[in-house]
Every structure is written in structure tokens, then in C-alpha cells.
Amino acid sequence: MSSGLGGMSGAQARAVEIAGGIGVVAEVDFSRIQDRLKKKWVRKVSDNLSQIHEWIIDYKERKKPISIAYHGNIVDLLEYIDEWDVSVELISDQTSCHAWDRGGYIPAGLTLEESRQLLNDNNCDKFVGYVQASLRRHFTILQKLTAKGSFFWDYGNAFMDAVFKSGVTVIAKNGKNTNDGFIWPSYVEDIMGPLCFDRGFGPFRWVCLSRLDSDLKITDQIAMNCIDPSLSALHHDNYYWIKNAGDNDLVVGTKARILYADEEGRIDIALKINKAVREGKIGPVMMGRDHHDSSGTDSPFRETSNIYDGSRPTADMSVQSFVGNAVRGMTMVVLSNGGGVGVSRASNGGNGILLDGTNSKDQVIRFGLSWDVMGGVARRCWAGNKPAIDTAVKWNEKNHDYGQITIPFQADQILLDDYIK
């Protein structure tokens, strides 16, 4: 169960189906649902909760994946699930809660049109009142469902922060402020951080500038051949993804692909694609990455939420990444603010390398991508994250002629506490 089929949340339903699950995503804007239906990113649509309940039962019994859009409010969906005791393993939320007071979160009890009318009529205070009441309802129903065994995680869209600002202080871990995070983990804290970012795994993209499907197919094959699925679950999942990426028919504009890989894997794929350009097998390729990566973004409720040394609100990683990428010759670098969670909530360092087949780009790939990925691993290593320490130690062993990541000596916590006292 989740919400949002807009610009950043629109792939949720399709992703659940690709992963073999049953996904129900609430969306109040029917035009968004129509767009996803047209692209086949969602398969079934209804504004009738009983109908959706029947579909869930049917597909569970048949053990078939399906993506369902509920045209309605996520709060109503969750309250129905609670009332009818429907077993839901996973719950999240991808409404634009960083703009909860400006229409990013449509409150239960109001339609999209009614909400917009209030905002257009300058009834902002009235609208905010509805939103805060809805957020409190949303929190209450999540408490009930998690008590029944559902797992809720925050996507990092400022949902829990918005709940806190609506007056629900108990959502804060310390019951007073947001300094220590919230009672439910951000998915970076609980999943992405220890599983991916601490190990240097993150999403990167490439775009075939020739606009040819054949070039995209060749780059998919190159990437697949660079991945050993037996190395780990992450390697296995990304091998499975890239092997079947073409069949999922997700390309809607430029001939682009996205994949997760660590530093070593990313460099290998980029070098092999650059070689294919050099040999005339494909046209030039632009390779970049998501802000949502090991070192790309400083954002205390999302990308840096699993950094526990007190520095997670500090714009450090993104700036280091940006400057280092620039001096290592990347084609395009950017330092920006916001990145999907709202201005002042994140600092983002982005990059792109034009793979034009030249030998000089091989150097940029080796040194630029290594810096870009391992900067994030280093910061997590210094914060004491064990997977990041292990990754840094292995990197030092392989790259001792090139550089070194300082490994922290960690004091005994009792000794440290006594000393500070």
C-alpha cells in the first residue's frame, strides 16, 4: 500500500509488479492515473474499495502480481484495510509532503478540486487545518496497522516531519523535536543505507544520444555481462533487472536506462560502454546518476539519515562530491538545493560524463567515478557504519597505489561517555 502516481512516485505500481508483488497505490488526481494506465505502469483502476479488496484476494490466491490504482485518498484506503482486517505486509507514502501546506498532500475529506479551490481563494489557513487533521488521522491508522504487523517506512518525502508539525509530537523518537529522527525509520535508515549506500551501491543512468533502440539494447547487454549475480543479493537483483529491462517497456522519452552498481561495477560498465563507442558499435552515451546515491546528497531525513555521528544535517558529502567531480574532468557537474524533498532540506551534487570513445574519458571514468562513489562510503565509514568500514578496508587493499580512506578507531562507548562526562 502506498500513495502517489505523480512525477516522482509514478513508477511505484509498476515496480511492485516487476518485483512479483501486489501493489495498491492511492492517487487523488485521476489524470495521473490515466497517464500511468496508458503506459501500462498500472493495470487496474477503481474508486471502489470493495472492488479493490476482491482483486487483492483473487490475486493473492492465484499468486499473481498486479498493480492497482485506487482513485481516492490514502487515508480512506488504510482505514478500510484496518476495518476489514486485510493483511498488508508493506506500507509507505510518496505524497509531496515537503509541500504539505501548498497542495502537496491532499487531505482526507476533500477532493483534489476542493483543495485547489481553497488554495486559489487564498483560504490557506483553512486548507492547512484540513491537512493537519488528515495527517493526524493518517498517523493514527498507521499506528493501528503497524501494531497488527504491517511494516511502514518513510520514503523521505517529509511525511513524518509533516505529521510532527501537525501537532503529533509522539512521532518524534525523543517526543520533543526531530533531532533524533522518528519512531518509524526512513527507508534509507532501515533499508537503503546499510544495504546499498554503505557499500557504494546506488543508482546511475545512461542515455544513448543516438536515440536508437539498438544502442540501448547493446548497452543493456554490456551492463549485464559486467555483473556476476552470484556475488551478492544486490548483484543478483540488478542482473535480473537489466536482463529483463527491455521487456518491461519502461522507456518513455530518451533511450535511457537506470541500474544500481557499486564503485567497481560502475567503473567497469562505463569503461566497457566507452570502448563500444570507440569501436563504432554504438553512438555516444551520456552517463550520470541520481542524486539519490551513496555520496550525491546530504538530506537528514533521507540520504544521510543513516549517518549517526551528528553530522547528517551538514552539507558536506554533496559539496565534496561536486568539487572533486569537477576537477577530475567530468563533462557536467551541478550543486543544487532541494532534490524532491524541498528547498533547504537537501544539498545535491550531480554529474554527467559524455562517453565519446576517447581514451581520455577512460581516465575520467576511473578517477571521477571512484571519487564520486567512495566519498559517500568514506563518510559513512567515519560515522562508524560497519558495512561502510568493511567496504573502505577492501577499497584500500585494492587501491593502495592510488589512495587511502582513513579507517576510524572506535572508542569503547562507556569510556567515551565517562570521558565526556
- Please state whether beta strands 347-355 and 285-289 pair in parallel, antiparallel, or not at all (unpaired): antiparallel
Q: How far apart are CA 14 and CA 29, in angstroms?
A: 18
Q: How far apart are CA 16 and CA 178, in angstroms?
A: 31
Phi first, then psi: what are they for 9, rounded to 5°? -105, -5
Question: Are the CB atoms for 162 and 201 separated by under 8 Å?
Answer: no
Tally the C-alpha atoms within 13 A of residue 270's C-alpha that lie toward its C-beta. 33
Which residue in this structure is represented by grid cell 580512506? 405
Which residue in this structure is represented by grid cell 470493495? 50
Question: Are the CB atoms for 116 and 103 separated by under 8 Å?
Answer: yes
Q: Which three cell numbers stand for residue 14?
A: 509498476
**Domains contained in the chain, CATH given:** 2-184 (3.40.50.10730), 193-413 (3.40.1770.10)
- pLDDT tens, the chain, 421 aa long: 999 998 878 888 999 999 999 999 999 999 999 999 998 899 999 999 999 999 999 999 999 999 999 999 999 999 999 999 999 999 999 998 888 888 999 999 999 999 999 998 888 899 999 999 999 999 999 999 999 999 998 887 889 999 999 999 999 999 999 888 899 988 888 889 999 999 999 999 999 999 999 999 999 999 999 999 999 999 999 999 999 999 888 887 899 999 999 999 999 999 999 999 999 999 999 999 988 899 989 988 888 988 988 898 888 899 999 999 999 999 999 999 876 677 778 899 999 999 999 999 999 999 999 999 999 999 999 999 999 999 999 999 999 998 999 999 888 889 989 999 9
Q: pTM higher than 0.75 for the full model?
A: yes
